[in-house]
């Protein structure tokens, strides 16, 4: 019997933006370009996606940029 491979570690997190007051959530796998960042607004049916299938570095840079943006500007960036 073959030795089973250890499952890839998933990383999740969320951060409340200072100026806009929005909560941004993200998840992905380290060293893979499968990260996603979205605005968490309570309903699963309407998630506004900020980044999809992106590298970890891009998502982390996006999170730091969003700190200084207003709610209207953040929602404008989202793909909906």
pLDDT digits (tens, 9 = 90+) for 2-60: 667 777 788 899 999 989 999 999 999 988 899 999 998 755 656 789 999 999 999 99
Among residues 35, 36, 70, which one has the least CA distance to residue 50?
A: 36
Residue 67, SS3 per DSSP: coil
Amino acid 6: pLDDT: 73
Amino acid 7: pLDDT: 74
Which DSSP state fits 69?
Answer: S
Taken in order 58, 63, 68, 73, the sign of the CA dihedral is positive
C-beta of residue 24 within 8 angstroms of C-beta of residue 38:
yes
Amino acid 60: pLDDT: 94
């Amino acid at each position: 019997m073959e030795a089973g491979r250890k499952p890839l570690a998933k990383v999740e997190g969320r951060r409340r933006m200072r100026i806009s007051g929005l909560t941004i959530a993200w998840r992905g796998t380290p060293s893979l370009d499968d990260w996603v960042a979205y605005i968490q607004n309570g309903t699963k049916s309407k998630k506004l996606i900020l980044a999809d299938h992106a590298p970890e570095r891009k998502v982390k840079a996006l999170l730091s940029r969003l700190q200084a943006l207003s709610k209207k500007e953040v929602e404008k960036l989202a793909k909906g």
